[in-house]
Structure 1
Amino acid sequence: MSANVSESSGTGDASSSSTTLDPLSSSSPVRLPAVRLACCLPTVAMVSSQLLPATSSLGDLPRDALVEILLRIPAKDLCRLRAVCPSWRALTSSPLFVAEHKSRHTAPLLVVAYRDQDIANGVDVVDLSGNIVKRIPSIESDIVVEDESGHVFAVFPVSHDSISVLRTRLDRICFTRELYPLGLWVLNPATGVTLVLPQCHSEELAHDDEIRANYGRGQVESCALGQVSSTGEYKVIRIATIGDRQLCEVITLDGAYCGKWRGKQSPPALVFASRGEHMRCAVVDGVVYFLMDFYTNYFSTGVLTIEPGSIASFNLETEEWMGTLQGPGPVRTFVEDHENFCYAHLNLQLSLAELDFSLVTVHNNHNISMDLWFLTDFENAIWEKKYYFLPPIAHLGVHPFLVLHDGRILFSHAGGLLKSYDPKTGTYADALEVRDSRSIGIYTGSLLSL
């Protein structure tokens, strides 16, 4: 296997070079020097001064040293240490401490849907070793639908319903349900609160005759949850199809409440569906990118009206479309440059991803090669091919998912696996087995908040 990779700069985990002190251990106590640690930075001093009284100490251990030691301990062990005393629990539960600890321990947590034998659905937060950090069952009262008159009523789960998690990178989780094509739910794992987003359309669209005639029979072609950087607001955008039209609506989430859908201008052209195995939508820094559908019109008319690889971008802050972004040059001319391929092939090969906080166009020429094109300049549509892979990575149903701090890349497989590729060694190995690799997100919140 060969791969062209860019140099990746990892960030060290402080816990990997320090000794974990367990005050619950029955072994002889370790005597610590009565001096301040050299690594007690201003941040540590600020945390300790705000959270511990000036006289707080552990024997001869100064307060700054105590905070520094606790910040070095992995979150899973730190949760156990909260039982030592009330002051430790208060310290390690404070937002200031949690934020500082999160900045030091950057190993990602994953979000996957689960389903048990009693047909109950829910969401698991897991680490990269597959350990379940927290299981959040779906509450039956969260499964609601709204009729045309605005009446809301609960629906009990059934055996053929299931949850599908959107591919997000946030401290919120957005998921859909198989039996409710217009339904969206947003979960805050830290509080356990699930917002049920309205299934009805916005007021701007509700009076449309075609929408009224097709009430409840629409299909969400694509949806995404993102956060506005300047305000911290969470917003959801959905692109729904009614007849041959695509409608755009946005809703703002506010803590434990959500507003109403607001009708927005339709996409500049048809966008590809991003449901199920089609990864054709990505969110980067408050902008939602949709891969535009170049194939449907070409298939029916034989005329190519949209350039292959083109991307529609929607700004969640301004709630406006930002125009059409050209895809990488070799993607646009792929069919012209390769006489053995047609637009039907290219239609199956393209997807979008968010990797290393960049928009990535994935050109997966199944069983031949996979190119990862990183957007480096939005205004001038400049793309850089940072990775080139051969089979078995270049295979149907394989999608890049996450770049780890050590440079490894996680790929999701249609068979329910996450695999990792290490560019330093050229090895490709199983990383984690999940129920549905298409239904998985990244949780950026702290384990200490769960």
Structure 2
Amino acid sequence: MKYIVIGGVAAGMSAAMEINRTDELAEITVLERGENYSYGQCGLPYVINGMVPSTDAVIAKTVETFREKYDIDARVHTKVTKVDIRNQQVSGINLDSNQSFTLKYDRLLIATGSDPILPKWSGIDLEGIHTLKTLEDTDGIMADITEEVKHVTIVGAGYIGLEMAESFRSIGKKVTLIQRGDQLAKVFDQDMSKLIENEAVYNQVDVKLEEEVTGFSGEKRVNAVITDKGTCPTDLVLVSAGVRPNTKFLKDTAIQMNREGAIHVNAYMETSIPNVYAAGDCATHYHIIKQLDDYIPLGTTSNKQGRIAGANMARNPITFKGIVGTSIIKFFDLDLGRTGITETEAKRLNISYKVETRKDTDHAGYYPGVETLHTKLIYHSKTGQLLGGQIIGKKGVDKRIDVLATALYNQMTIQQLQDLDLAYAPPYNSVWDPIQKISRKT
């Protein structure tokens, strides 16, 4: 059986390894346009500020490991430009030799991930303007962050924008953060986002909201960001305006995609075409709470979908149960956690909901080192089913967000949170956990 996997990072290599374990006679070829395989993209901001020693540290397995230990034909600098569904073959070009190739497959996985969005702003090709997605991007930024670079401007305040604002500040750079919307981190509700904004300002990040970038100025290298409200002098720019699925090469196929270009998949990671599968940041993700296909590209989901795709390709049927949209990031001294849907999303989906908020402590108030937790829960106004949660604080956020994510997965009501047998000792919690205290108010 000839398996071809397009994409050699999270979803692609999770699938390849699952095929390798399941089908002893598998002939696996992986086509990766970049230079590296199987690395942790989420660790890249911490390479730039030195918390992680180098890009080598985030590589889980090298290309040579896949070739020599697992007998996988792992290719690099190999760009796929066409998928011929009728003849079950893929075509493309080797970026080193500039030679074209065509390969036949019995089963194909598309795991091409996503690419950073780069609007067609004037001056976008100037030196000193970066995105952050790959190891090569990281090395480029690190080479460019010289002592002469005093001021960095970040365009976009999503996860990467926030993490990089902290990263650049931690190495002594002045940071301006430009966001065209009216809040930072739009995956949070605006009341919770205000806490994030306050933390940014406290750490001397110049936050510019409701300001839209129109271009960049400079002769050879960028020296300013031009917006609809003025000019922001800068020495380096990071564009973090979101990502889109890397699926343009499929436009002439009959593979069904959504408006954003994410490939529609079912629970078995099958596409609309027989023997063609998709997983990760280029595919849709079924949302358990919304009960519809969504697009929330995260590393955890990519690895799960990749493993499930590989199992099904090798005829070991298992299903992807869906996501609830759980995520957490560190932002200076705060941890920002969220899961399920926000109040904003509930309104957009016309879901009848109620909200409870609470400011509490992360552990028993009489034990030293107590910190504040800001918690917000959204639940169905008629059934009481938990719909989502947001927690921001200095300690204990990860513990509670994972509890809420588990409750969402099991479609529990907010009242049932009171019945959970959660860990308690004064250094870690109060006798009633903060999320249980909220549930008692309903």
TM class by shorter chain equals: under 0.3
**TM value normalised by structure 2:** 0.26
Greater percentage in helix: 2
Q: What TM-score do you get using the length of structure 1 for normalisation?
A: 0.26
Give the number of the structure whose residues are more often strand, by fraction.
Answer: 1
